[in-house]
Structure formats: C-alpha cells, structure tokens
Amino acid sequence: MLSSLAQVLLSGLQIGCIYALMALGYFVILRATGILNFAQGEWMMISGVLGVVLIAFGVPYYLALLAAIAGAVLLALAAERAIIRPLQARGAPQPIVLLSLFGTMLVARYGTGVLFGRQDLPLDGPAGSGITIIGEANFIANQTLVVYAITAAAFFGVAIFMTRTWLGRSLRVASIDPLAASLIGVDLTRVRVVSFGLGALIAATCGWLYFPLYAVGYLNGSIPGIKGFIALFVGGMATTMGPLAGGLALGLVEVAASFYLPSIYAEGAAFVLLMIILVAKPSGLTGGKES
Amino acid sequence: MTTATSTAATRLFIPNTAVGVIVAIALVIPFFGSTYHITLAVNLCVTLILTLSLNLVVGSSGQFHLSHAAFFGLGAYTSAVLAKTVGIPPLLCLPLSVLLVCTLALLVGLPTTRLRGLYLAVATLAFSLFVEVFVNQGGALTGGGYGIQDVPALTISGTVLSGRAFYPLALLLMLLVAGSLYGLMRSRLGREILAVRDHSDAAAAAGINPPVIRTLVLVIAAGFAAIAGWLHCFYHLALNASLVSPELTFVWFFMVLVGGIGNVRGVVIGTVLLTLLPEFLGVATGQTILGIGVLMIIVTLFAPRGLGGVLDDAIARFGKARS
Amino acid sequence: MNAIATPLIAVSNLSKHFGGIHALTDVSLSVTPGEICGVIGPNGAGKSTLFNMIAGGAAPSAGRILFSGRDVTAMPMHQRARTGIVRTYQLAHTFESMSVADNILVGAERHSHLGILRALTLGSFPSSVETAARERAEAAMRLTGTLELAAMPASRLTFGQQRLVAFARALVSGPKLLLLDEPAAGLSSGDIDLLCAAVRAARNAGSTVLIVEHNMDVITELCEHLIVMHLGRKIGDGEPAAVRAEEQVLEAYLGS
C-alpha cells in the first residue's frame, strides 16, 4: 500500500495537472493577445453540460465527448467573433475588454443555468473507473493515468506548436509587439481566433478530466476557472512550462494543506501560495526577471 | 483604467424635481408599500452602500479590486454567527463585524498594495474564492451550502425592528454612509486619496505615504461593505453562501462602470436602474445576473463611457443650449 | 562654503550603478544651511541621479546622505518630505483631479496623522488646521503669481502654469531643503523672474535651496554655491566665479 503521503502526492499531482491545463488555456490566449479570458472556466463547464445532455439522449460516450468539446469551442469562437473582435477593431482599452469577458462569463454561466437547470449531475471519465495494478500491492486509477497523459500531450503539443509552426510563432510574436507582427504579415485576427479556439479546446477537454471527480453543474466552472488563473500567476507566464509548474505547485499545496489542516482552511493555501509568489517573485516560479 | 469621467468626482447633483420624487417615494414606502416593496427598498439601500464604497476603491485606484463581495458576505455572516450562535445583541454585532472585516481587509490590503492590473485582480479574486469556499464548507459554523436561518431580530429599546420597521434604519444607514463618503472626499484625507491616485510619486514628495493610503481606502470600503452585510443580515434574518460569490463583485463593478467610475451621481443612478429594472421585468435572481451579463456585453460594445458619461454630455449640451 | 556650521545636507561617497552603467561615482558634497546651491553639468552627467538620491526617489548603491547630521540614506521619500526635504519634478505633476488651490493646500498640510475618524464624520467641515493651511497656500499662490488660478481645475493649466503651481506646492510647507529639478524649463522670461524672486523669498524665509538647472542665467542669478558634475563625478565645487574660471575644460560644456 502506498504511504498516505504518497497518496496525497498522487492526488495532488492529478488535480495539479487539471489546474495546469486550465492555466495553459489562459496562457495561450494571454500570450497571443494579452487578454485574460475570464470565460475559460465556462467553456469547461459547457463542455461538461453538453456531454451530460448528449449522453442522456443516448449518444455514444466518445461521440458525446467529441461533440461536447466541439460545441464548447464553437461557442468560444462565436464569442470571439461577436464580442472581442469588434472591441479590438475599435481599439477598446483593456478594462473594457475585460468587462465584456466578465459579461460573457456571466451569460455563459447563467444562460446554461436557465437552459439546463440547476442540478449537479455526474459525468464518467474517459477511462471509466478501472484501475491498473502497479508492482505488488499498489494501484492507480486509469482515469488518473488519462489525466497525466492528456496533460503531457497538451503541454508537449502546445510547446511544439508555439516553437515549430508558423502559426504558433505568430502567436508569440503577436504578443510581444502587435504592430511589428502585423508588419511582417501576421494576421492578428487569425492569431486571436486560433488562440481563443485553442484555449477553449484545452478548457473543454479539461472538463472531461475534472468533472468525473466533481459533478457537472452550471456553477461548477467557476472554481476551476479561478484556480487556473492562480496557477498561471504562480507558475509564471514566460514559458509554456510556467502553467505546468504553477498548476502542479497549486495542486500539491492544496492537497497537502487539506491533509494537514481542516479542509475549510485548505483553500486558503491557494491564496497564501499566490500571495507569496506575487510578493516574493511576481514573475512566477519559472519566471526570469520581469520584462 | 479610466479615472473620473467628470473632474468633480465628488459632486452629487441630481435635478431638483427628480430629487423631490425620489425623496417622496423614499418617505412614503414604509406606510404604503407591501412587503415586496419594502424588501426592494432595503435591498436597494444595501446595494447602494456597496456600489458607493466600491466606487471609492475603484475610483481612487483605477484598479480591479475583486474582493468586495467577500467583505460584504463576511460582514453578514459574522453578524449572523455572533447573534445566533454566540448570543451577542444584534446592535453590537455591527461594530464587531465591521472591526473583523476591516482587520481582514488590512491583512489582504497590505501585501497587495503594490500589485497592479491583472495581478491585483487575481490576488483579490483568489481571496474571494477562499472566502467562498470557506463559507461553503464551514460546516456548523457557517451552515455550509444551506446557510444560516433564524437569525435573532434586531431590537432597539424594546421595539423589534423587522420588516417594515427596518426600512427607516436601512435608509438612515445608507444616507449616513453616503454622507460620510461625501465628507471624506472633501477632507484632507480625501485630498490625499486623490493625490495618490493622480500621481503617487508627487504625493510622496508632498509627504503622503501611498501604500498606506491605498490600504486605508480598501479598509474603509470593506468597513462599509460590512455595514451593508449587517443590514442584509438583520433584515432577511437568513443568509446563504451566494452572498460571498465573486460574481456579486462583478455585478457591483458593472453598476459602478455604468455610472462612470468616480462619478457618484452616475453610480447612484446605475445602481438604482440595475436593481429596480430586473424587478420590474419580473425576473428571478439567476436571470437577473444573466441579464446583467448581457447588459455588460451590450454596454461595452456600444457605450463604454457608461451612463455617467452620457449624462455629463447631455447636461453639458443642455447648458450650452440655454446660454 | 562655511565649514564651521553643520551642513544641511552632507553627501559622502555616493555611488549609483544600474547594470553596467555607473550613473554616479564617489560623489561627496555638502550644502550649508541658508544657501542657494546649483548643480550643473552636461546631459548624462548624473545631476538627475544625484538629485533623485537626495530626494529619496531611489536608493544609492553606496555612500551616505546626512540631513542635519541625521542619516537619511534609507529614508523613503514621503518621510523625507515630512522631515523637511521637498522636491519638485521636471514634469510638474500637478494633481489633476483638484483645483489649483487644493493642489497647493496638499503641500501645506501635515500628512503624518491620518485623521480617518474626522474625515469620515466631519469631513465636509474644514478644521482650524485646514483653514490655517489654506491661508499659507494663498500666500504661496501670491508669491508665485498663481492666485487668480486658484479655482481652476489643474487639468486645464498650461505647462508653465503647472510648473508654477507645483513650485508653489513645494514652497508652501516652508521646507528646510527645497530641491528644484530644472524649475526654469519651459517658463517664459516673466515667469522666470517670478521664479527667482520666489526662490529668494523662500531662502529668506529659512529654506535652503538646491537647484539642478541648465539655464545658466538662473544659476548665475541665484546661486552662491555651484557644483559641477560630469560623467557621474563631481568636478567642481565652490563659488560660481571660481568654479567656472578654474575648469577651462568645462567651457566646452557650459558654453559662455
């Protein structure tokens, strides 16, 4: 049997991967457009809600999964088209853009609440509830392995995308100097669309990892959404590894705190971790000097 | 972030006839209004305290402080717990919960005083999240997801102030808070707050300590939010965890933005409109927030300077036409 | 320089470097109470850096600053202001939410005591302290010729007017050490005369003045003590005539 500390670490690692993925979604959008997309948690939630609904209608699991993720991504792209694009075209200042994203977040959340009702419903993970035996007496849930795999794939994929493809490199250049980027032929709108879509894809996929652990409900995208931010700021925004470091750190700290402290204070651990980073090393765990 | 849309950030001016109408309604409500109307009026007083205090913070710093709902909710919960579980007289719960919330605001404000922009937004949001989860999982202390019911009612010299009788108290406190904020901006401290907002280095060169001022503003605003929480607690005599939801901060933020940051008149009108309109349209709370979300999107797309700005323009044009 | 009196400001071996740049190297100087001291030198000489160190805007990499014998090297700017070291900025930095009168009033008020309770209760009613401060502000406005601008919002001032208002704000607290950062830049010649008269009046009222300036007429007009900087070092320190005569190499920088 794994020691209780090891169990703590493993479950911290799992939730940490989920936070890391959420942070990655924010990261992609923030790096490409400078916008902190408050609606990410809602795309995750909508992907879960769509999944539950489709499965309830008898759609086969994997089809429902794909359709739900696609649905969430389409919604995100629609929001970009209808809201962000006109604002950026007008050169609206950042606080206005942020406000429109708050609004989008509220509409997505409460619109879903109105349409789908307020109950929390369960969702199965892609790996079901099977377990894999390791060694003699240890086991690990298959779902946990799926989480690790998806996280590794996502981070690897994004890192490759950002460094090896023209589109990915455009994203990086666009964030550093939009004017220069447009001068060398980078289409800023395309950059924004791709980054919003990619961010939503990551968040929507993450929903299928998170909601099997907690239930699907219209309000349940809020907490992972906020934790994703916290993870991003803890880990740093300089490189793709920032969100990963931040997510894992947050997950581990949180689980360790809930192990040793009454759970109501364990949430404070996230806040304390964030404050320590913001005060001592604002560029995050992986950040270098502030640029 | 845009600072005051009008240079006289503290001028509270509403055309005289409108004032007359509002005062008349405010005075008449306790006699002729139904319970529904009284509740609406009390909620409006509570929300006004919240938006005016949020306006102080945002207007004097130009930053996204997202922990206002946490202070409001904690003020309400502290009052409820002290009154129901500890048995402290409701009246005494007011200074006690204000003290507790202000102390917490100090603890949050001090480390965050040098944070800006997204960093401050995330930090204050993280605090708000902590409070939300704390309240939701507080078990016996906070009633968890069910909240707290059967809070003892407020009694002043033998009279139980509940329902209809509570309204004058709510109105009085709201007016006192508004008056206090008005006086604040005219005082030396108010000048220091404006100086720090306008140019914190020049303020320091004049002997003002910017981080202390910024933290103080947060503490004052949190104190007012706690007063609002106390009012809410002893009117409704029941609370649930939705009071500490960070979404509420967004909603009040929107009311402040619609009114124009720093523009008190606009904030008042924005608050009144956004509180009363959903009621008149007969929508439930969840739909109210949905409606506000839609409005946020519409306003940012079509009227970014907010209602206050629009009013300023209209009045300026009206003035020019008359001369 | 009177070596007998305690200098108001004594700077010892002050150095400042950022990255590989040595903005100041081993600068030492002292300013006698009651004098008007000018700091000159070509661009990049380190005048602004020296000024900023004394004002408290940034910390030196090495060295000490003594104010009336008291070590203020680590003292933050707002505390220096409360101790009597008041600076102006090249870009004026008026408080645009306020009227001119209020701008100057801020300089006249004591800020060490927060006065929260009073502000929240009796805020609308000026205290006797405030009334007295307003009178001092009015005197400062008269001195700088800005009295008729008193009710104007500071956001509507011209550049020159902003400079004068900021200057009045610095004067009004009767500072022990008045630090002026290129006060004459952008002023009309009439305003410059006002400035010089005000500086002399401030000195007569007890302030010691340290001016960083490029305008040699103002320097000649006002300063009894001249410090010359070049490439981060002090290369001249003494009475203006002596300093300017002695360093021929400075002609290339000072002009005529």
**What would the two tokens of residue C108 be?**
């006249």
pLDDT of residue B286: 64
What is the per-residue pLDDT across B24-75, written as a single tens digit (0 to 9) for each? Answer: 777 777 777 788 888 888 999 999 999 999 999 988 877 788 999 999 999 9
- What's the CA gap between C97 and C90, in Å, rounded? 20
pLDDT exceeds cutoff 60 at B4: no
pLDDT exceeds cutoff 80 at B103: yes
Separation in Å, CA of A134 to nearest CA in chain B: 35
Q: Say whether residue B137 is in contact with chain A using an 8 A CB cutoff.
A: yes
Split into its structural domains, chain A has a count of 1
pLDDT of residue B307: 52
Report CA A62 to chain centroid distance, whole Å.
Answer: 21
Least confident of A165-179, A250-264, B140-154, B233-247: A165-179
**What would the two tokens of residue C154 be?**
């500071």
Q: Say whether residue B295 is in contact with chain A using an 8 A CB cutoff.
A: yes
Cβ contact A264–B254 (<8 Å): no
Q: What is the helix (H) or strand (E) element at residue C86, kind and residue range? A: strand C85-87
Beta carbons of B125 and A229 less than 8 angstroms apart: yes
Cβ contact B126–A104 (<8 Å): no
Say what percent of chain A tops pLDDT 90: 37
Report CA B309 to chain centroid distance, whole Å.
Answer: 20
Q: Say whether residue C157 is in contact with chain B using an 8 A CB cutoff.
A: no
Q: Considering CB atoms only, which of B119, B133, B299 is closest to A278? A: B119
Q: Say whether residue B129 is in contact with chain A using an 8 A CB cutoff.
A: yes
End-to-end Cα distance, chain A = 47
pLDDT exceeds cutoff 60 at C248: no
pLDDT of residue A69: 94
Residue with the bigger pLDDT between A168 and C98: it is C98
Cβ contact B134–A104 (<8 Å): no
pLDDT of residue B26: 75
Closest chain B residue to A254 measured between Cα atoms? B130
| Test the B interface: residue of C95, C99, C176 with most B CBs within 10 Å | C95
pLDDT of residue A152: 92
pLDDT of residue B50: 96
pLDDT of residue A256: 85
Beta carbons of B269 and B311 less than 8 angstroms apart: yes
C65 torsion bin: left (phi>0), alpha (psi -120 to 50), beta (else): beta
Residues of chain B contacting residue C78, judged by C-beta atoms under 8 Å apart: 203-205, 207-210
Closest chain C residue to B211 measured between Cα atoms? C78
Nearest of C53, C47, C42, C58 to residue C12 by alpha carbon: C53
pLDDT exceeds cutoff 90 at A42: yes
Confidence of residue B76 (pLDDT cuts 50, 70, 90): very high
Q: Which chains touch C (3 or more CB pairs under 8 A)?
A: B
- What's the CA gap between A220 and A113, in Å, rounded? 11
| Test the C interface: residue of B188, B208, B212, B219 with most C CBs within 10 Å | B188
Q: In what order do the strands lie in the sheet with C70-71?
A: C21-31, C9-18, C62-67, C70-71
Domain that holds residue A131: 4-280
| Test the B interface: residue of A107, A220, A261 with most B CBs within 10 Å | A107
pLDDT exceeds cutoff 70 at C128: yes
- Give the burial class of B142: count Cβ atoms within 10 A of its Cβ; 0-12 exposed, 13-18 middle, 19 or more buried: buried
The alpha carbon dihedral of B198, B201, B207, B212 has a sign of positive
Separation in Å, CA of C246 to nearest CA in chain B: 36
Cβ contact C119–B190 (<8 Å): yes
Say what percent of chain C tops pLDDT 90: 38
pLDDT of residue A239: 85
Nearest of B6, B131, B110 to residue B68 by alpha carbon: B131
Closest chain A residue to B120 measured between Cα atoms? A278
> Residue C18 corresponds to which amino acid?
F
Q: Considering CB atoms only, which of A93, A95, A110 is closest to B289? A: A110
Cβ contact B290–A107 (<8 Å): yes
pLDDT of residue C247: 60
pLDDT exceeds cutoff 80 at C192: yes
- One DSSP character per residue, A122-164 reads ----TTTT-EEEETTTEEEEHHHHHHHHHHHHHHHHHHHHHHH
pLDDT of residue B159: 79
pLDDT exceeds cutoff 80 at C159: yes
Q: Which chains touch B (3 or more CB pairs under 8 A)?
A: A, C
Q: Say whether residue B301 is in contact with chain A using an 8 A CB cutoff.
A: yes
pLDDT exceeds cutoff 70 at A2: no
Residues of chain A contacting residue B304, judged by C-beta atoms under 8 Å apart: 92, 96
Q: Say whether residue B296 is in contact with chain A using an 8 A CB cutoff.
A: yes
pLDDT of residue A39: 92
Q: What is the mean pLDDT of residues C10-22?
A: 86
pLDDT of residue B315: 46
What is the per-residue pLDDT across A142-156, written as a single tens digit (0 to 9) for each? Answer: 788 889 999 999 999
Residues of chain B contacting residue A233, judged by C-beta atoms under 8 Å apart: 118-119, 122
Residue with the bigger pLDDT between A91 and C105: it is C105
pLDDT of residue A197: 94
Separation in Å, CA of B123 to nearest CA in chain A: 7
- What's the CA gap between B156 and A153, in Å, rounded? 65
pLDDT of residue B134: 87
Q: Say whether residue B242 is in contact with chain A using an 8 A CB cutoff.
A: no
- What's the CA gap between A276 and A142, in Å, rounded? 35
Max mean pLDDT among A28-32, B50-54, B269-273 falls in: B50-54
pLDDT of residue A145: 84
Sole residue written with tokens 């008449």:
B28
Q: What is the mean pLDDT of residues B71-91?
A: 91
- What's the CA gap between B282 and A102, in Å, rounded? 24
Q: What is the helix (H) or strand (E) element at residue B188, kind and residue range? A: helix B188-198
Separation in Å, CA of C140 to nearest CA in chain B: 15
- What's the CA gap between A39 and A98, in Å, rounded? 10
Is A33 domain-assigned? yes
Q: What is the mean pLDDT of residues A29-47?
A: 90
The ipTM (two decimal places) reads 0.89
Sole residue written with tokens 């100097």:
A177
Cβ contact B183–C120 (<8 Å): yes
pLDDT of residue B311: 46
A abuts C (3+ Cβ pairs < 8 Å)? no
Is A288 domain-assigned? no
Q: Considering CB atoms only, which of B130, B253, B296 is closest to A270? A: B130
Confidence of residue B5 (pLDDT cuts 50, 70, 90): very low
Q: Considering CB atoms only, which of A96, A114, A282 is closest to B286? A: A114
pLDDT exceeds cutoff 80 at B314: no
What is the per-residue pLDDT across B120-174, written as a single tens digit (0 to 9) for each? Answer: 888 998 899 889 888 888 777 878 777 888 888 888 877 788 888 888 899 999 9
What is the per-residue pLDDT across C208-221, written as a single tens digit (0 to 9) for each? Answer: 999 999 888 898 88
Cβ contact B201–C76 (<8 Å): no
pLDDT of residue A142: 79
Q: Say whether residue A87 is in contact with chain B using an 8 A CB cutoff.
A: yes
Mean pLDDT estimate for chain A: 85
Is A291 domain-assigned? no
Q: What is the mean pLDDT of residues B2-7?
A: 38
Cβ contact C93–B183 (<8 Å): no
CATH code where residue A146 lies: 1.10.3470
pLDDT of residue B320: 42
Closest chain B residue to A223 measured between Cα atoms? B129
Residues of chain B contacting residue A222, judged by C-beta atoms under 8 Å apart: 246-247
Q: Which residues pair with C11 in a beta bridge?
A: C29, C65
Closest chain A residue to B144 measured between Cα atoms? A264
Confidence of residue B319 (pLDDT cuts 50, 70, 90): very low
pLDDT of residue C236: 83
Report the SS3 class of residue B68.
Answer: helix
Cβ contact B301–A100 (<8 Å): yes
Q: What is the mean pLDDT of residues A177-184?
A: 70
> Residue B303 corresponds to which amino acid?
A
Nearest of C72, C65, C79 to residue C11 by alpha carbon: C65
Sole residue written with tokens 């609904």:
A53
Cβ contact C124–B209 (<8 Å): no
Report CA A76 to chain centroid distance, whole Å.
Answer: 13
Cβ contact B133–A83 (<8 Å): no
pLDDT of residue A33: 84
Q: What is the mean pLDDT of residues A82-88?
A: 87
Max mean pLDDT among A12-21, A185-194, C230-239 falls in: A12-21
Is A289 domain-assigned? no
Tell me the backbone φ, ψ of residue A131, rounded to 5 degrees: -130, 160
**What would the two tokens of residue B280 be?**
């008149």
pLDDT exceeds cutoff 70 at B283: no
pLDDT exceeds cutoff 70 at C25: yes
Q: Say whether residue B127 is in contact with chain A using an 8 A CB cutoff.
A: yes
Pairing of strands C208-212, C36-40: parallel
Q: Say whether residue B106 is in contact with chain A using an 8 A CB cutoff.
A: no
Is A230 domain-assigned? yes
Cβ contact B186–C123 (<8 Å): yes
Domain C9-254 is found in CATH 3.30.565.10: no
Q: Considering CB atoms only, which of A106, A109, A263 is closest to B296? A: A106
pLDDT exceeds cutoff 50 at C129: yes
Beta carbons of B249 and B128 less than 8 angstroms apart: yes
What is the per-residue pLDDT across A250-286, written as a single tens digit (0 to 9) for each? Answer: 999 988 888 887 777 777 888 888 988 888 888 888 8
Helices (H), C95-215: 100-108, 116-122, 128-144, 159-171, 189-204
Say what percent of chain A tops pLDDT 70: 91
DSSP code, position C250 = G
What is the per-residue pLDDT across B181-198, written as a single tens digit (0 to 9) for each? Answer: 999 999 999 999 999 999
pLDDT of residue B112: 86
